[in-house]
Structure 1
């Protein structure tokens, strides 16, 4: 009887296991290597579902690519080809890690063991959870300064030179691709000639401190990361990392290509922060400048919305609300804040008409705080497993961000800006100017021969 009872118990256990396996197959839930998260300590099972990162990759890449692409040839000339390439790679690694810190911090603060994805989150709400009301206000002020500085850079580029988000993405990608293609065409004669390899600079560490914030500012996407997280279905940390990695790799390749070929094309000139002014004047280049101007002009409202919301939450937030709000803004307040922000940006853009200085100072001062220092601090504040290796990486990123914040800000403020400021576009070596240049060269040769004859 005992043996029969044991057999019945074993059959019952086997039936229960088969039912559990069948239910698991129906729910399409299988345990994987991420079922137990070593960083947060949460024990849960993730759903297996189809995920295509490419729409989100191009959406995030559209947020990343901006006026910094025009300054890449200037960076390559100031730092050298090898050092500039290393700087782009270093900035891409730092950006990937800091975005992972933000995504993981959002997961730890908004995800309990029984949930499977993020709820809606924001930079300010994460700061409130991790650092409290005082930390939230400090980060709101940093975000406001960062967004305002970005708008100033847009206005500086507009000076000299749709309704659906997918249309905006196509416009920005099309213009950026045309700029890269045109720069490559300009570089082909120099590449074929071969003289560029003798005259270009390969390693120039003197420009590292002033140019590393420009490169990092060009790859920064931490402010827009939470919008991408909200758009991803079942926004697991691994999926967010895949989207960020794809977007950063694409933008890094674009920046490296534009910087290298732009430097090779114009290695004999003193480059500035806007490579468009170096292109030969033609109908096609004028259309290209107009297209880039339109893409930048359309991007300004996208930066104005979070800047206006940050200013409202910083100064006029309702006293009974701690989380960031924007729906409580009245129409009069909306127009006044918009006018104040645009007026301030216009004044700054007129006083400092220098793209590389704006990008360098913004990236060194407030950009390093928003993009490196603050994400590392937020992750260190909410991380449950203090012995995990990502905590060590967060500390390394924090030290690197503080170094860029101090050293690069000092170097940018003390650099001689008169050398790199383009007051107006220089005349190009077109067909009209060649006879005049040849006559001047001939006159110079005749004067030299006369001096030699006199001395003889």
Structure 2
């Protein structure tokens, strides 16, 4: 596999790999937790991601390894390297499921003026056909034959789609902002933070792609960290624009996939088509590291005996063609199958970010760093400890919230007559204090109770009903 050495090309790869379909759920996230609180959470997740990437590079430098997997092998052992491979594959696989979920929706919306993805009796037959056609005739050939350099050149298509979306949402939101009549924006909804936190974190996660777009993490050093910081800045600006303008345009009517909220017209059709093309380009960028992680895990389990092809070896030559092709077929069609049965994209992103994303993005980088570095660098160890606590907390609490929160099948935000957490611009509405307290602390109370029950069950040695 080819690697990337140019700094700007590296920034382009990291940005395109991180953005993905998470950008489509951000207006929904702003509606869930509020405009101001959503901005704070976005910046916080960007900072934690940069800290985590710095820990990964410091671990590689300390252990003189060629990648994060090699650093884990030297500090935690073969079992730690196996866990990283499995979690890396799970996170990337979940992202690919979300890609195909959105691709199926977009394919139908391009053909039909108005389409409900799911019928009343279950999954729409045409949605299933659209997902498997996209997976078979577009995603699979690109995953088998495209190179990283070619996909990097095609990444400009994805950025063009993002730019079109921002311009369209801004044009839709500006008349509403100018009139300022009837604009109701939620500024602070803390009850939605636990649900949107894994989506924000997963949308900014860049650690799984580092071993693919660079040949040697240790050799690049500070230049790689600068590229990560610049890519995070680009992602944050892009995310904020889409989230703000999308939330202003549709307010609490925004859907989990913002493309499903766009009104009919040529511009909306063009944006959907551009995003469909960008999904075709971005899907292989997720599949490449996922395929390497799966092959690495199989080799760790002694299921396969492969040449030096894996990220921890620092080489990127292909394994046997048969193994390469079978793995690619399995990944593509399994992701298509899960995309068919998954409820919606926000559930996929939330679950993927809270489980595999928190582990591969924050918990394991912190653990590897704490095992690799000495006790003299107390500030970095303090950062690693905070990163570890954050990852464990997000994995525990946010996963419970994602499973317990009721999300409409088509992704429509649950409407409520309670305006307690909403600040109305130029039109303040009366607030019910009792409803405010109940609505504001519902998620926090449920999360705390669930956490306490987990602690009691673990201390008593009996597994709870979720098997945690």
In which range does the TM-score fall when normalised by the shorter chain?
0.7 to 0.9
Instruction: Tell me whether 1:131 sits opposite 2:79 in the alignment.
Output: no
Match for 1:357 among 335, 340, 347?
347
Matched, 1:98 2:52: yes
Q: Separation in 2 of the partners of 1:208 and 1:79? A: 6
Q: 2:425 maps to which residue?
A: none
Give the counterpart of 2:305 among 314, 318, 331.
318
SS at match of 1:280: coil
Give, in angstroms, the shift of residue 174 of structure 1. 1.2
User: 291, 312, 318: which one pairs with 1:308?
Assistant: 291
Post-superposition offset of 1:353 = 3.8
Distance 1:258 1:320 in 2: 44
**Structure 2 residue 166 is matched with structure 1 residue 183:** no
Asked if 1 retains the 8 angstrom alpha-carbon contact of 2:212 and 2:289, the reply is: no
Matched, 1:348 2:338: yes
1:6 maps to none
* Partner residue in 1 for 2:91: 146
Q: Are 2:361 and 1:371 equivalent residues in the alignment?
A: yes
Q: Provide closer, same or farther for how the CA distance between residues 329 and 230 of structure 1 changes in structure 2, counting only shifts above 3 A.
A: closer
Retained in 1: the 8 A contact 2:369–2:384? yes
Query: CA offsets per residue over residues 212-242 of structure 1, 9 Å max, x none?
Result: 1001111000111234543789522x32221
Alpha-carbon deviations, 1:79-100, whole Å to 9, x = none?
0001100000100110010000
Q: Is the 8 A contact 1:124 1:140 kept in 2?
A: yes
Distance in 1, Cα, partners of 2:175 & 2:404:
37
Gaps of 5+ in 1: 1-50, 111-118, 424-456
Query: Which of 94, 97, 100 is the equivalent residue of 1:155?
Result: 100
Deviation readout 1:150-204 (Å, 9 max, x if unpaired):
110100110111762442221111111111111111111111110354x211110
When residues 233 and 140 of structure 1 are mapped into structure 2, their CA distance, relative to the original with a 3 A threshold, is closer
Question: Would the alpha carbon gap of residues 319 and 200 (structure 1) be closer, same or farther in structure 2, given more than 3 Å must change?
Answer: closer
Q: Which has the larger radius of gyration?
A: 1
The structure 1 residue matched to 2:404, chosen from 414, 432, 441, is: 414
Partners of 2:372 and 2:304 lie apart in 1 by 26
Q: How does 1:283-302 map onto structure 2 within 5 Å?
A: 283-302=266-285
State the alpha-carbon separation in 2 of the partners of residues 223 and 130 from structure 1. 19
Confirm or deny: 8 A CA contact 2:204 2:235 kept in the other structure. Answer: yes
TM-score norm. by structure 2 comes to 0.72
Alpha-carbon separation, structure 2, partners of 1:186 and 1:156: 26
C-alpha deviations, 1:286-311, integer Å up to 9, x for none?
A: 12211111111121122222222222
Which position in structure 2 is the counterpart of 1:174?
Answer: 160
Asked whether the equivalents of residues 131 and 381 of structure 1 are also in contact (C-alpha less than 8 Å), the reply is yes
When residues 385 and 288 of structure 1 are mapped into structure 2, their CA distance, relative to the original with a 3 A threshold, is same
Closer, same or farther: CA 418–222 of 1 in aligned 2, 3 Å: same
Q: Structure 2 unaligned runs (5+)? A: 107-145, 414-468
CA-to-aligned-CA distance 1:261-308 (integer Å, 9 cap, x gap): 110000151x22211111121122212211111111121122222222
Aligned residues: 361
Shift of 1:319: 8.1
Task: After the TM superposition, list the runs of 4 or more consecutive aligned residues in structure 1 that deviate by more than 4 angstroms.
Answer: 231-234, 319-328
CA deviation after TM superposition for structure 1 residue 386, in Å: 4.0
Structure 2 match to 1:267: 251
Equivalent in the alignment of 1:222: 207
Contact 2:17 2:285 in 1 (8 A): no
* 1:206 counterpart = 2:191: yes
